Amino acid sequence: MSALNETNLVINIEIKKNVTINRGKIVSMVNNKPLVRLQMKNPCDHLFMKTLFQTILNVTQNCIFIKSKNVLNIDIAEVAKKYYGGMFLYGNITFKSVFYNDECNFSCTIVEVALSPRKNKKTK
């Protein structure tokens, strides 16, 4: 994972073999206070997670992650704006996620973002 600029993340994901995941956990915190906690026995049974996986990765209807290489470009500011309807949460936001099965950890991610109001440019 790398930062392209102040708000864009570029994430390279390589799935080395076909795999299914049967457990997952997502936690988000604002200024070190819990905001969302989601623990799943089978992430693909979760309506939003299955759709998300199928949208961004090569995942079958039966939730098999197909061997592939993927590059994701995520604009954090745009995602926050769409998710919160234009009303931002400001501060230090941490997203942690882990997805795994009995054989391996499929994905473990920690993203820390500092969101602050955009400074208005003065015009003359």
Quick one: average pLDDT of 83-95? 71
CB count within 10 Å of CB 44 equals 22
pTM of the entire predicted model: 0.75
The reported pLDDT for the residue numbered 40 is: 92
Confidence of residue 58 (pLDDT cuts 50, 70, 90): confident
| Residue 5, pLDDT above cutoff 80 | no
| Residue 1, pLDDT above cutoff 80 | no
Work out the percent of the chain whose per-residue pLDDT is above 90.
Answer: 30
What the chain holds in terms of domains, given with CATH numbers, is 2-115 (2.60.40)
Inter-residue contact 97 to 38 (CB < 8 Å) = no
Condensed to tens digits (0 to 9), the pLDDT of residues 38-50 reads 999 999 998 888 8
Contacts of 51 by beta carbon, 8 Å cutoff, 6+ apart: none
| Residue 63, pLDDT above cutoff 80 | yes
E-assigned strands of 31-104?
33-40, 68-75, 91-100
Query: 3-state class of 34 per DSSP?
Result: strand
Averaged pLDDT of the chain: 83
